[in-house]
Amino acid sequence: MGVFSKYATLLAHLFCATIPSFAYVEEFKDANDILFEYKLADFSKRDYAEAVNAVFSEFEKSALCQIKPKTKGKVGLKIYTNSGAGLATPQNLVIAVIEELKKRGFKSEDICIVDMSKRKMRESGFLPKYSEIKLGSKDNFMGSPVRDIESGEFLNKNWFYDNPLMPRDLQAGVFRDEKFNKEARKSYLPIPLFLTVDFWINLPVITDMQGIGVCAALGNITIWNMSNNERFFSSPANAPIALAEVAAIPELKDTMLFTILSYEKVQFVGGSVFNAAFTSSEKLLYASANPVILDFFALDYINCKRVEKGFKPIPVPPIFEYARQMQLGSPRPSDIKFKSVKNAN
């Protein structure tokens, strides 16, 4: 195992119930309770390619099932770029996942990359600069389409999360229009991640986050995966249960294959606003169909770094308990099988 401290031990004692295994993709249910660990040599294209190949292969072996095109022949990749280029999903990781999917029969044009903002994705290198487009570059990433949530172009009026949690200005009673207020209760989900794909893969980044404690696998599935997300930042008391409810939406949950989480860059103070002074790096990569255990270890790592720098550790966030109740996965290390993955070459 990687970093595991007294804070993780403290968290582990808070969860006593065993969570039943729940398959995000039914064929791969036997791998749902496994945490795969790969120790990176560096963060190069080659090393990420070897790591992703090993993780995919071990995941298939554990599930006794192959990752390959099904009826729709398409895949979604949910990345994180909200903090800008300094704290985004590593490009080399995304490239490795795309290449691994292509080996298994998918075409570049059938692998869709999704995040909140095209501007942020462009800043982070997942779309070419406008000057490059004028010179003939295609507005995609290595031949794969890039879709944003912010534009609303890839949302569907029939697929949304409805919650009475309102943006701060509406809470203050600034707007009186009933139709407007009703719409403000809704957060729309990106169609390219669950209605048009065989499955999708979660590729988050780790940050601390006010209101939910840690923002990694679950945060990338939820708060950074829907429109009208600013309302959750203004209500930290209610945000954790709302996020757990979004993550538990069957159509979203049942099509997520797994999460691959790199520790290339981790921010432990400052939330989603990038600050290089409060970032850390570890040559470590985890993968699991259980996003809760990934966040468990992400929080532990964040707290270790916070204490090293003289900050107080983040208290146990309620998101873990709500996620447990929603059967999103167990946060207890004793409920998880750890598998150290090595390069097969």
DSSP state of 315: P
Is residue 341 a part of any domain in this protein?
Answer: no
Confidence tier at 227 by pLDDT (50, 70, 90): confident
Is residue 344 a part of any domain in this protein?
Answer: no
Query: What value does the CA radius of gyration of the chain take, rounded to a whole number of Å?
Result: 19
**Contact of 242 with 187, CB cutoff 8 Å:** no
Is residue 249 a part of any domain in this protein?
Answer: yes
Is residue 304 a part of any domain in this protein?
Answer: yes
Is residue 130 a part of any domain in this protein?
Answer: yes
Is residue 277 a part of any domain in this protein?
Answer: yes
> Domain limits at 278?
6-335
Is residue 167 a part of any domain in this protein?
Answer: yes
- For the segment 134-160, the average pLDDT, to the nearest whole number, is 87
What is the average pLDDT score of the chain?
Answer: 84
Q: Which of 68-82, 110-124, 267-281, 320-334 has the lowest mean pLDDT?
A: 320-334
Provide the token pair at 83: 């903090």
> Per-residue pLDDT for 276 more than 60?
yes
Cα–Cα distance, 45 to 101 (Å, whole number): 15
Cα–Cα distance, 23 to 62 (Å, whole number): 13
> What Å distances lie between residue 87 and 76, 161, 207, 215, 284, CA to CA?
21, 27, 9, 13, 16
Question: Which residues, other chains included, contact 220 with Cβ-Cβ below 8 Å and sequence gap of 6+?
Answer: 78, 80, 202, 203, 204, 205, 259
Is residue 345 a part of any domain in this protein?
Answer: no
Q: Which of 46-60, 188-202, 313-327 has the lowest mean pLDDT?
A: 188-202
Per residue in 55-113, pLDDT (tens digit) is 999 999 998 889 999 999 999 999 999 999 999 999 999 999 999 999 999 999 999 99
**Highest mean pLDDT, choosing among 17-31, 58-72, 81-95, 217-231:** 81-95
Question: Which residues, other chains included, contact 115 with Cβ-Cβ below 8 Å and sequence gap of 6+?
Answer: 78, 79, 80, 81, 82, 121, 126, 148, 149, 224
Query: Percentage of the chain with pLDDT > 90?
Result: 58
Cα–Cα distance, 202 to 295 (Å, whole number): 13
The total number of structural domains that make up the chain: 1
**Contact of 239 with 212, CB cutoff 8 Å:** yes
